[in-house]
Chain A
Amino acid sequence: MTEPDVDALRGPEAGGAGVGTSDEVLALAAPALDFFAQWAEIWNARAGVSPIDGEQDVRERFAANAGIGFRKFLADADALTHAHDALGEARADADGAANDLFREWEGPAAATAKESFDRLRPDDLADQLDGAAQLIGETMTHVFTVLKSEVDEVLKLRADTVAGAPLDVAQRVARVAQDEVPSHDELLELARWLDGAAPGNELHDRLRDCEPSDHDYAVRAAKQWLDGPFATEFSGRYAAFCDLCSTATSAIDEQFQALTGFLSGFSPDRTATTHSSVDTPALGLPMVDIADPSVRPGHPADQEPVAVSAPVADPGSQPAAVSASAADSGPATSATDDATSASSFSDIGTHVIDPAPEHHPADNELGTAPGGDLTFDPLGTGSEQMPDAMSGFGGMGAFGAMGGLGAAPDQQRPAARPGLDVFDTRGSGGRISGSIDDPPGGGR
């Protein structure tokens, strides 16, 4: 009996080395499967037993772990590692760009933009990519180890004889038990063997000068061996085989569950906020209704000069924001939708300008409550429950946790004051500087 060299198997390795699929491991158990399939026929010769189907109960049972594609899983691990590295490089590049940017851009808007940029930290995502890549590799190694052990143990269950009988003898005994009586000489030979295997019957002596009716005695002796020593030993081996199959399948199931549990355990950090009164205006600057083109500078419909104002509130305190348009004389409700749409980076530019003071409603009507912005930040941190409706990834402003980029607060700001709220513009070559404290006209 030549034993397959299970130890010579190389586990799955990145780059395609080692075994490619579980089939390559399981194939080494073929001699053991043949053993059980062949000896199952002897088992099935017994009257009244549950038959063992060599195909279904042996080969198919053992094949429950067939088909596992180690190589493809490891290709996934490689892809995750690549994505992790690319993410790290992208983050480093973005950080470099931001450093350059904020050396040249200062002021309340820049400060808020920097805060927002600093929130773009995909640490959890990077950890998940790295962790998943490692876990996939480890899972494949564990699965391979389980399969190798299964094959090892199953091969140990194989034997050249069962209850002392080689297969050919057992087959002859089984035929006698099924009342297929062989020639007298063959029966005597078999009786001698049975006397040794199941002492006490003295079958050979009785059959040597037997009467034809003594054949029944031979049948009973054969059945005795089948139901006794053979059944005991073979059922033990078969039960062990079944246990090994189910144990290996369960162990591999657990490995896959751990892997999928890790993968499922990751959901981008989310923040669902409903700040109806404490929202930070976008980049610290007042918000303008960009949906109404009439408020844009230079628009033909805008006959009055548009006052440009710096944030009125102290940057150190909760900044105020105004969400209103020149055409919108309503106090609050009309800007609600815009507050939602402004919760993204794309609105940063729209917040650099404020509508003309004469377009503001009365002071006590300026505050535009957005009705609560709702942002979902896949990369930031937050523990609040994400609404079901926001379970996707679209529209994820990175400003979520800071109250929403364009969220207009309930807080009200005074109307822009002509003169005081107008920037002193000293633009030069793309550089624009200004201060709310500067008087108009550039006289500092």
Chain B
Amino acid sequence: MADTSHRADAGAMRAARGALEGAAAGVTEVASHVGVADFGRGHGAAFAAYSQGFEVLSEALRAYAGQLTEFGGAVEAAAGRYGSVDEEHADRMRRTGDR
């Protein structure tokens, strides 16, 4: 049977969550300063695609930051679950010994 052993450090996992959230907070969005008038009188039609391009970039940046945060949260949740499982085993072992 394959080795499925594991080792987890809840403290390190929670610290990782904080660090990942910190990294995510450093991701900055991009807001365009350009309005349709800045394309000049004859080129305003290009504004929509330009503006949309910035929105897509901002959304992608937000998504990356969100994924880092989400990943960190999941790691912390995993740490909590490991702890719960450990307590559950301890409880079960106690009851086994009581019978």
Is residue B99 contacting chain A, with contact meaning CB distance below 8 A?
no
Closest to B81 in A: A352
For residue A311, give the distance in angstroms from its CB to the closest CB of chain B: 6
Which one of A32-40, A50-58, A73-81 contacts B?
A: A73-81
Q: Is the CB of B85 within 8 A of A423?
A: yes
Q: Is the CB of B81 within 8 A of A105?
A: no
A350: B residues at CB distance < 8 A: 77, 81
In the bound assembly, the distance between CA atoms of A409 and B3 in angstroms comes to 22
For residue A426, give the distance in angstroms from its CB to the closest CB of chain B: 9
Closest to B6 in A: A107
Q: Is the CB of A72 within 8 A of B34?
A: yes
Q: Is the CB of B23 within 8 A of A79?
A: no
Closest to B32 in A: A76
In the bound assembly, the distance between CA atoms of A379 and B62 in angstroms comes to 11
Is residue A347 contacting chain B, with contact meaning CB distance below 8 A?
yes
In the bound assembly, the distance between CA atoms of A73 and B86 in angstroms comes to 57
Closest to B84 in A: A297
By DSSP majority rule, is chain B's interface helix, strand, loop, or mixed?
A: helix
Interface residues of B in 1-28 (CB under 8 A from A): 1-13, 15-16, 19-20, 22-24, 26-28
30 contacts between A and B (CB under 8 A): A67-B39, A69-B38, A83-B28, A97-B19, A97-B20, A97-B72, A103-B12, A104-B13, A105-B7, A105-B9, A113-B74, A120-B64, A129-B57, A132-B57, A256-B39, A297-B88, A298-B84, A306-B88, A308-B85, A314-B2, A316-B2, A345-B71, A346-B77, A349-B74, A393-B62, A398-B71, A423-B85, A430-B79, A432-B7, A435-B6
Q: 3 closest A-B pairs (Cβ-Cβ)?
A: A107-B6, A349-B77, A263-B53
Q: Which residues of B are at the interface with A, using a C-beta cutoff of 8 A? A: 1-13, 15-16, 19-20, 22-24, 26-35, 37-43, 46, 49-50, 52-54, 56-57, 59-68, 70-93, 95-96
Q: Which residues of A are at the interface with B, using a C-beta cutoff of 8 A? A: 22, 63-69, 72-73, 75-76, 79-80, 82-83, 86-87, 89-91, 93-94, 96-98, 100-101, 103-110, 113, 116-117, 120, 122, 125, 128-129, 132, 249, 252-253, 256-257, 259-264, 266-268, 283, 296-298, 305-306, 308, 310-311, 314-316, 344-353, 378-379, 393, 396-398, 422-425, 427, 430-438, 440-441
